[in-house]
Structure 1
């Protein structure tokens, strides 16, 4: 065995370990970069009657209102969530949601129930859910059926 082969066999484990560590840093940095995904309503959306599901791939968000408290429930843990109520002149009012007990449930008191109390009336909502650099956004209408 010549000396070049010996040096290659001694250096190879360090190169393999260094490459593994470098690829881990690269993949971690890629995962933290901001990405935007669109959530789309799954069927008819009725927030008051707890029938509003937004989907993007395997990620789902359920939005409902009980007694003036609007809740967002997701299939994956969220870092933050914000709900926007949009009026007829397209002006949005932001309502940052606070975590309830775990990162799957977020809620805030909103005037949504008073604004869509008339049966059959449509109201525009927007939601932004953040998960580790990924932003899931949606603009949709809710309509009270019953």
Structure 2
């Protein structure tokens, strides 16, 4: 979790520079990820998937979401103006390990991410759903 948080923190700096956010806090709800892991223990064992991989992917996916914000800001001034208003990104897991598609919701100046699992994602996977929020 510390490594994932560190990776996300690095990406926040780059994104804030690209978008001009005065504040951009990112919270990964690690407690809920641990609950999801416990509730999907049988599935994880069947797939020979380790708990730390789930946590690592959560960090990677979150960093990709934050990177996507920066890429959007670098490519479109209209979106940059809106994304600069964001102050928070909150990431929680989808309940089933088999859920792999993340979903996004805008709540004021907060993007809420329901994070999928199992597959890695990159920033390009998230630009379209983030743009759809605006």
TM-score normalised to the size of structure 1? 0.26
Structure ranking higher in helix proportion: 2
TM-score (norm 2): 0.27
Structure with bigger strand share is 1
- RCO greater where, 1 or 2, for CA within 8 Å and sep 6 or more? 2
